[in-house]
Amino acid sequence: MPIATVNPATGETLKTYEAMGEEEIERRLQLAEATFRTYRTTGFDERARLMRRAADLLEEDQREIGRIVTTEMGKPIGQARAEAAKCAKAMRWYADHAARLLADEEPAEADVHDSGAARVLVRYRPLGPVLAVMPWNFPLWQVVRFAAPALMAGNVGLLKHASNVPQTALYLEDLFHRAGFPQGCFQTLLIGSAAVDDILRDERVKAATLTGSEPAGRAVASTAGEMIKKTVLELGGSDPFVVMPSADLDRAAEVAVNARAQNAGQSCIAAKRFIVHTEVYDAFAERFTAGMKGLRVGDPMDEETQVGPLSSERGRDDLAELVDDAVRGGATVLCGGERPDGPGWYYPPTVLAGITRAMRVHREETFGPVATLYRVDDLDEAVLIANDTEFGLSSNVWTRDEAEVDRFVRDLEAGGVYVNGMTASHPALPFGGTKRSGYGRELSGHGIREFCNITTVWHGA
């Protein structure tokens, strides 16, 4: 895949880049290693000062970087600016909390009284250069939610971004440099996917994090396992959105539309499978379908647009194939379902009902504004269908029955359970999945400790 900015609203190639050669990659690896030796010794106050400066600059650049993001991957302009603001918030959160999250810990004396130590503490130390392989769908947020905790912990970052967002990738390197971070603290590698393996095998790279497809995750995990290197993987998702009889249907349907259509449905944590109790199925389906039909699809630079194009022609083709397969298998199209004529890689908000296990759309992730509806008779059937997926990223449950909440929290196989609300990432909350959605956690204290050497310090009497 070429490294290029291709406007998904028009299909026009706007700018292309040459991939970095071996000499430039080597120069950047040397710089990362050298920078880490000194940066790791800086204090939290200095790191926080630099991180807050980066947040300030990002806020100042919101309009400019928003236009770049929208041009490269099609996100509606308002959502692109909101993504930049969210990144600044996360930067400040880690600037404010990193020292506390990574403070030395002293076990209770009663727990270590027979260890023979006069004093024991646990210290969190940075690992070194961390390779981040990041996707295009949230091209700022996915990177910052790695970079902010990693840099605050004293690590340095090497970014291999998706090949269709090179201008965003280069902007991020420049952002941290302008903020005052040493030049080797955060570097963008303009490389293709084939170059990742060799970089991950380099002894100077100490760990890796990847957000992306399951095949990409398998490849990185395999190499990292061979090299005995730590990895964090956030892969696909097919999140259930369960609606029970006691739910506020108006609110549930309203949130369901946003949960499925935000970013044109191109989100791992977007709700994708809507599992509705038979008592409220018809009422919910009517409200939800009306909401999806009412979304404004159009030019992502238009402030009124709610759903822009998909990021690539291949992405639209893959989505259309899933819908066509479901229709051939007997699914009912409640709205959408046909790709429009004209330029750009648009696909209409679509609702499918009558889904069976034989359909691909039941098993595979729908990365676009396509929702599947399921009718269930009781809570047990809802849990069964919700868990009938290889993924386990997050989940949404709509009920005002506390006993039902307890059951869902206990039984749903997911990294998150959001009750009467939409799944969203927040810097203070751990984020990640189970099953084939990956392992490890980003954000919160859990995320900042993922790339630390957790060191026991034992003092004799």
Give catalytic residues, as residue numbers: 234, 268
86 CB contacts (<8 Å, ≥6 apart)?
141
DSSP states of 154-206: T-EEEEE--TT-HHHHHHHHHHHHHTT--TTSEEE----GGGHHHHHHSTT--
Give burial (CB, 10 Å; 0-12/13-18/19+) of 180.
Answer: middle
Q: Which of these, 250, 286, 290, 292, lies nearest to 271 by C-alpha position?
A: 292
Q: Output b/e per residue, 296-323; b: 16+ Cβ within 10 A.
A: ebbbbbeeebbbbbbbbeebbebbbebb
* Pairing between β-strand 3-7 and β-strand 418-419 as defined by DSSP bridges: unpaired
Angle at which helices 77-101 and 62-73 cross, to 10°: 110
> Which phi and psi (to 5°) does residue 396 adopt?
-130, 135
Going by DSSP bridges, is the β-strand pair 438-439/230-234 parallel, antiparallel, or unpaired?
A: antiparallel
Determine phi and psi for 340, rounding to 5 degrees.
-80, 160
